[in-house]
Amino acid sequence: MTTISANTACCKSFALDPLKMKDWEIAEAAEATMKPIGDIADDLGLIDDELIPMGKYIGKVDFMKVLDRLNGRPQGKYIDVTAITPTPLGEGKTTTTMGLVQGLGKIGRRVVGAIRQPSGGPTFNIKGSAAGGGLAQCIPLSPLSLGLTGDIDKITNAHNLMMVALTSRMQHERNYDDEKLAKRNLRRLDIDPARVQVKWVIDFCAQALRNITIGKGDKMDGFEMESGFAIAVSSELMAILAVAQDLADLRRRIGKMVVAYDKQGNEVTTADLEVDGAMTAWMVEALKPNLMQTIEGQPCFVHAGPFANIAIGQSSILADRIGLKLCDYLVTESGFGADIGFEKFWNLKCRYSGLTPNAVVIVATIRALKMHGGGPAVKPGLPLPDIYKEENLGLVEKGCENLIAHIETVKKSGVRPVVCINSFYTDTEDEINLVRRIAEANGAFCALSEHWLKGGEGAIELAEAVVEACREKNEFKFLYELDMPLHERIETIARDVYGASGVTYTPAAKAKLDLFEKDPQARKLGTCMVKTHLSLSHDPDLKGRPTGWELPISDILVYKGAGFLVPVAGAIKLMPGTGSDPAYRRIDVDTDTGRIRGLF
Which residues are catalytically annotated? 93, 95, 116, 127, 308, 336, 424, 452
Strand order in the sheet with 550-559: 502-505, 550-559, 564-569, 526-527
CB atoms within 10 A of CB 590: 10
Question: Reduced to 3 DSSP states, what percent helix, strand and coil does the chain have, rounded to the nearest 5?
Answer: 40, 20, 40
- Answer yes or no: are the C-beta atoms of 69 and 47 closer than 8 Å: yes
> CA torsion angle for 544, 545, 546, 552 (degrees, to 10)?
110
Sign of CA dihedral 59, 64, 67, 70: negative
- Answer yes or no: are the C-beta atoms of 489 and 516 closer than 8 Å: no
Collapse the DSSP code of 102 into the 3-class scheme (helix H, G, I; strand E, B; otherwise coil) and give the result: helix
How remote is the C-alpha of 39 from its chain's centroid?
28
Calpha distance 380→556 (Å, rounded): 31
Q: What's the full length of the chain, in residues?
A: 600
Q: Nearest CA to 96 among 431, 361, 339?
A: 361
Sign of CA dihedral 431, 433, 434, 438: positive
Which one-letter DSSP state was computed for residue 376? P
Taking the CA of residue 355 as centre, how many other CA atoms within 13 Å lie in the half-sphere pointing to its CB?
27
